[in-house]
Amino acid sequence: MLKKKKWLKLSLLSLLAVILLAGCGGGNDSDKAEEGGGKGKEKDVLAQVKEKDKIVFGVKNDTRLFGLKNPSTGEVEGFDIDIAKALAAEILGDETKVEFKEVTSKTRMALLNNGDIDAIVATMTITEDRKKEVDFTDVYFDAGQSLLVKKGSDIKGIDSLKGKKVLAVKGSTSSINIREKAPEAQVLEFENYSEAFAALKSGQGDALTTDDSILYGMADEDPSYELVGGTFTEEPYGIAVKKGNAEFVEELNKALKSLKDSGKYDEIHDKWIKH
Ligand code: GLU
């Protein structure tokens, strides 16, 4: 009698164990099902690009020569825009398979990492700090930081900035570098380059600092301004993609190489870059 009871207890316990284990297993299975189905494990960006048959590029809309919205057509134009279209032609076979979304220096990495854009082609320097947050392609353009002043200004270069107000854009390397290179200057930051240039013109600062490539666009727009003092940093531009997309980076690098080999890169360069 006693033995029988013990046996019954044991069998009940094992039954319970079996039910519990099955329960756990079931839970795992349904989690897996959810990953594979509903929410889905996020596809890599290259696969998404191929599926939607277009690349969503984050570009500047206020940077003459690189990415500037033409108010009469509503289209963005510039070196970065033509590079982006040429990359789409290489990767998807047609330069119209693009969508452009506006980014600023401050917003671009967040928009990329949120998945709002597939890649950034927006005067973006490859830096070690940024490499912690995004991946970059090979260099596709070399710029360097400089200063823009009103013609006749007593500012002649980085060494004449003591006590001067220098305008820069939030989220740019320029804003970081200028504090290091001219610690005695006062730095005022703006959201984007059109605001910064408007501020320079309205006398809110003595100089504007960013890449020479961007400053040339401003001097073109208003020839009463000029670049002074040459460049004092190196700003190699790369195309940024979300981390963990090695295949997409590889595809973009292959496309860049083929644009260089075919002469298309030089054609785009000569169209926009005069200095
Ligand atoms: N190339 C610099 C940077 O990546 C300045 C231009 C910009 O703000 O996009 O920060």
Q: Domain residues of the chain, as ranges?
A: 45-142+237-272, 145-228
The reported pTM is: 0.85
Pocket test of ligand 1: the residue of 63, 106, 172 to mutate, having most ligand atoms within 8 Å of its CB, is: 172
Ligand 1 atom index nearest CA of 175? 10
Atom index in ligand 1 nearest the CA of residue 174 equals: 5
Ligand 1 pocket member 233 (CB < 6 A): no
CATH T-level topology, domain 145-228: D-Maltodextrin-Binding Protein; domain 2 (3.40.190)
Is the per-residue pLDDT at 1 higher than 80?
A: no
Strand 225-228, strand 145-150: pairing: antiparallel
pLDDT value of residue 28: 41
User: Backbone phi, then psi, for 205, in 5-degree steps?
Assistant: -155, 170
Q: Closest ligand 1 atom to the C-alpha of 211?
A: 5
Alpha carbons 151 and 191: distance in angstroms, whole number: 25
pLDDT for the residue numbered 43: 78
Of 175, 149, 166, 167, nearest to 235 by C-alpha is 175
Tell me which residue has tokens 């500012």: 155
Mean pLDDT of 194-206: 98
pLDDT in tens, 231-269: 999 999 999 999 999 999 999 999 999 999 999 999 999
Q: Same fold for the domain at 45-142+237-272 and the one at 145-228?
A: yes
| Mean pLDDT score across all residues of the chain | 90
Tokens of 63: 């940077």
Amino acid present at 88: A
Starting at the edge strand found earlier in the chain, the sheet holding 55-59 runs 98-102, 55-59, 119-120, 240-242, 134-136
Sheet containing 225-228, strands listed edge to edge, beginning at the edge strand earlier in sequence = 186-190, 165-169, 207-211, 145-150, 225-228
Residue 202: pLDDT above 70? yes
Out of 3.40.190.10, 1.10.520.10, 2.40.50.100, 1.20.1050.10, which CATH number does the structure's domain 45-142+237-272 have? 3.40.190.10
pLDDT band at residue 25 using 50, 70 and 90 as cut-offs: very low
Percent of the chain residues topping a pLDDT of 90: 84
Residue 144 has pLDDT above 50, yes or no: yes
Q: With 80 as the cut, is the pLDDT of residue 172 above it?
A: yes
CB-based contact 217:179 (threshold 8 Å): no
Compute, in angstroms, the gap from residue 175 CA to the centroid of ligand 1.
Answer: 9
pLDDT in tens, 54-113: 999 999 999 999 999 999 999 999 999 999 999 999 999 999 999 999 999 999 999 999
User: How far from 2 is each of 5, 6, 9, 130, 273, CA to CA, in Å?
Assistant: 5, 6, 11, 73, 96
As a whole number of angstroms, the distance between CA 142 and CA 49 comes to 27
What's phi and psi for 244, nearest 5 deg? 85, 20
Distance CA 174, CA 233 (A): 9
